[in-house]
């Protein structure tokens, strides 16, 4: 239970109560940019236990808060009206698409300024425009315009975000920040619960089917991570000895060195032996997996619904039977308790993921597959890998993460420019972990200057810029000498000098990359930026398979 009174017994203002509820949800840091419509709230936040992280752009703040939320459980951003809020809309849309609980807080013109609908700066059409936009991008939203309902609205919206792992939106007029409602208010958390009978019947049906299966498989998705269900999933798999694959978006929800793990399931985009193993299964438990076009290998996956148990936070379907009011965690617990015991399924040796063999060829021109093989030797259980869109993501599918090493990428929404701001969010959430970023040159030029905040804050991520002189993925999707795929070359390794902190490396060969990575790994005090020169036609096998499939559509 949470009360609207603080420890001294004095009443809280609307702004103070909002800050208190953020802290209640474990949000200790908030990203954003100030502006006149939100300065009063910024003043309260600066004086509170919240760590306010100022970013260079609102969309960067959104990406940072998204990555923070994926690690911490919830994150938050605070921006000004319209020029700030609408700038962050794309990042929030990505968080919604991939179920990341980001709290969006925006200031707005004061209620007493709105008489006769004046043309105030930042305003678009009318005073509801921004609220209307975010109602389409968030699971819940509100404008705190009534002191009598403000506390209740804050509770409702934050609860929805935490429960459904989606963004929420809170707009606060600037003359409401310091208003103290003259009402008593107590927040009682109403925990979500399953229907016991529906849960029991679903678990019975699933357990019986799994026990009869000769070739069962679990395909784990990102919701296992979002809802903290890794232990429950592993308990089920280990008790029943069922092999596990993950989707691309769910990469690293379990350690990829686990003996039951067989690899990423990506339809025809992925390794053929993994695809065959999954699609030959007679019972497929899809646990917390989004069935997106990327996760389905651009619709090359071949999963028959009559052989699937589809269990997510939003629905539970066993073959063609639908169960309602069954929480994903409760279903996994009840299913494990029933102890399904299928015939043990042998896992061929070639399915056990292991880092590709790697012997340094110091003088050889560096290629993306060899870079990943070398990086595989380096990452450990305290490494967070962040991959931007393009071959940074596709090549990274070959990384073998250790234990529950976090792997973060907007692998469904696929918004380029995510990775550098996400590195900031990850470092704020876990300042002592090693963050490694894979980012193409095109994506870097979108948001790479958020390195300024990273340098300012003294964080020490390793950023690997993959420079193939343009938009390499699109070159493969639509072959030809197209000028729109070219970008202006930058001297990326010199950027630490511009930013006033960090170390830059420029590499062409395997030996140079090996030395740069070793030097960067021991540098725990500042940014390391490795500028990797790649051939224009270099690409991972995953990208080549994707281009073959998707190229027919574009």
What is the per-residue pLDDT for 9?
36
Whether the Cβ atoms of residue 229 and residue 288 lie closer than 8 Å to each other: yes
Per DSSP, the residues of 425-467 read: HHHHH-TTSEEEEEEEHHHHHHHGGGHHHHHHHT---EEEEEE
Q: Mean pLDDT over residues 292-301, rounded? A: 56
What is the per-residue pLDDT for 301?
61
**What is the percent of the chain where pLDDT is above 70?**
90
**Tokens standing for residue 350:** 């070639």
Q: Which CATH architecture has domain 368-550?
A: 3-Layer(aba) Sandwich (3.40)
What is the per-residue pLDDT for 302?
66
Residues near 97 by beta carbon (within 8 Å), at least 6 away in sequence: 412, 413
Whether the Cβ atoms of residue 461 and residue 454 lie closer than 8 Å to each other: yes
Summarize pLDDT for 521-543 with one digit per residue, the tens.
999 999 999 999 999 888 888 77
Q: Which CATH class is domain 196-351?
A: alpha beta
Apex CA 415: angle with CA 533 and CA 433, to 5°? 70
Per DSSP, the residues of 405-424 read: --EE--TTT--TT-HHHHHH
Residue 189's pLDDT band (boundaries 50, 70, 90)?
Answer: confident
Q: Mean pLDDT over residues 346-356, rounded? A: 80
Q: Mean pLDDT over residues 204-214, rounded? A: 96
Whether the Cβ atoms of residue 513 and residue 507 lie closer than 8 Å to each other: yes
What is the per-residue pLDDT for 346?
92
How far is residue 276's CA from residue 348's CA, in Å, rounded to a whole number? Answer: 12
Query: Which 8-state DSSP code applies to residue 280?
Result: T
Residues near 277 by beta carbon (within 8 Å), at least 6 away in sequence: 217, 243, 245, 262, 347, 348, 351
Apex CA 431: angle with CA 427 and CA 437, to 5°? 35
Q: Mean pLDDT over residues 307-326, rounded? A: 94
pLDDT at residue 163 is higher than 70: yes
How far is residue 387's CA from residue 395's CA, in Å, rounded to a whole number? Answer: 9
Report strand pairing: 216-220 vs 140-143: unpaired
Helix, strand, coil fractions of the chain, as percent rounded to 5: 40, 20, 45
Instruction: List helix spans (H) across 178-293.
Output: 196-212, 223-226, 230-240, 272-279
Residue 513's pLDDT band (boundaries 50, 70, 90)?
Answer: very high
**Tokens standing for residue 223:** 């919701």
- 3-state SS of 112-153 is HHCCCCCCCCCCECECCHHHHHHHHHCCEEEECCCCCCHHHH
Of residues 186 and 423, the one with the higher pLDDT is 423
Do 196-351 and 368-550 share a fold? yes
pLDDT at residue 506 is higher than 50: yes
pTM: 0.91
What radius of gyration, in Å, describes the C-alpha atoms of the chain?
24
Reference 159, options 42, 74, 32; nearest CA is 74
Residues near 188 by beta carbon (within 8 Å), at least 6 away in sequence: 1
How far is residue 504's CA from residue 371's CA, in Å, rounded to a whole number? Answer: 17
What is the per-residue pLDDT for 46?
96
CATH number of 2-187: 3.40.50.970
Torsion angle of alpha carbons 13, 15, 16, 19, nearest 10°? 160
Residue 552's pLDDT band (boundaries 50, 70, 90)?
Answer: low
User: Which of 95-99, 184-188, 208-212, 293-297 has the lowest average pLDDT?
Assistant: 293-297
Q: Where are the domains of the chain?
A: 2-187, 196-351, 368-550
Residue 1's pLDDT band (boundaries 50, 70, 90)?
Answer: very low
How far is residue 263's CA from residue 260's CA, in Å, rounded to a whole number? Answer: 10
How far is residue 472's CA from residue 486's CA, in Å, rounded to a whole number? Answer: 9
pLDDT at residue 438 is higher than 80: yes
pLDDT, the chain, mean: 90
Torsion angle of alpha carbons 469, 471, 477, 478, nearest 10°? -70
């Amino acid at each position: 239970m949470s009360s609207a009174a603080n420890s001294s017994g004095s009443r809280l203002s609307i702004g103070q109560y909002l800050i208190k509820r953020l802290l209640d949800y474990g949000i200790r840091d908030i990203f954003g940019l100030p502006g006149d419509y939100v300065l009063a709230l910024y003043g309260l936040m600066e004086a509170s236990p919240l760590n306010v992280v100022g970013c260079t752009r609102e969309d960067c703040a959104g990406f940072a808060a998204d990555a923070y939320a994926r690690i911490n459980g919830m994150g938050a951003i605070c921006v000004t009206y319209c020029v700030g809020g609408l700038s962050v809309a794309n990042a929030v849309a990505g968080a919604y698409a991939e179920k990341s609980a980001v709290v969006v807080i925006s200031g707005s013109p004061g209620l007493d300024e709105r008489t006769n609908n004046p043309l105030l700066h930042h305003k678009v059409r009318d005073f509801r425009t921004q609220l209307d936009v975010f109602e389409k991008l968030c699971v819940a939203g509100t404008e705190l315009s009534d002191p009598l309902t403000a506390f209740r609205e804050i509770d409702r919206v934050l609860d929805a975000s935490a429960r459904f792992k989606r963004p929420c939106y809170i707009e606060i007029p600037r003359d409401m920040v310091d208003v103290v409602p003259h009402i008593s208010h107590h927040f009682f958390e109403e925990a979500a619960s399953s229907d016991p009978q529906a849960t029991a019947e679903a678990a019975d049906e699933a357990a019986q089917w799994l026990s009869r299966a000769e070739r069962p498989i679990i395909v784990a998705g990102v919701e296992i991570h979002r809802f903290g269900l890794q232990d429950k999933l592993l308990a089920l798999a280990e008790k029943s000895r069922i092999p596990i694959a993950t989707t691309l978006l769910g990469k690293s929800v379990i350690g990829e060195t686990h003996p039951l793990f067989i690899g990423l399931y990506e339809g025809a985009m992925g390794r053929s032996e993994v695809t065959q193993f999954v699609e030959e299964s007679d019972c497929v438990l899809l646990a917390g997996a989004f069935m997106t076009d990327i996760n389905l290998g651009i619709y090359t996956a071949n999963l028959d619904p009559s052989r699937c148990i589809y269990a997510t936070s939003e629905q539970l379907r066993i073959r063609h039977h639908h169960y309602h009011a069954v929480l994903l965690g409760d279903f996994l617990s009840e299913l494990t308790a029933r102890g399904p015991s299928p015939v043990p399924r042998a896992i061929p040796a070639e399915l056990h993921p292991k880092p590709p063999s790697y012997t340094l060829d110091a003088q050889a021109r560096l290629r993306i597959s060899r870079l990943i093989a070398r990086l595989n030797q380096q990452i450990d259980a305290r490494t967070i890998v962040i991959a931007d869109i393009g071959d940074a993501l596709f090549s990274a599918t070959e990384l073998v993460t250790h234990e529950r090493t976090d792997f973060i990428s907007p692998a469904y929404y696929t918004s380029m420019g995510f990775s550098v701001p996400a590195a900031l969010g990850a470092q704020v959430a876990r300042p002592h972990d090693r963050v490694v970023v894979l980012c193409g040159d095109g994506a870097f030029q979108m948001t790479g200057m958020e390195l300024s905040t990273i340098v300012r804050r003294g964080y020490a991520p390793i950023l690997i810029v993959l420079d193939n002189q343009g938009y390499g993925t699109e070159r493969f999707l639509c072959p030809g000498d197209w000028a729109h795929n070219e970008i202006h070359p930058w001297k990326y390794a010199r950027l630490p000098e511009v930013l006033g902190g960090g170390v830059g490396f420029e590499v062409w060969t395997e030996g140079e990359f090996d030395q740069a990575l070793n030097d960067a790994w021991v540098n725990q005090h500042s940014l390391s930026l490795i500028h990797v020169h790649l051939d224009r036609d270099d690409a991972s096998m995953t990208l080549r398979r994707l281009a073959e499939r998707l190229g027919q559509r574009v």
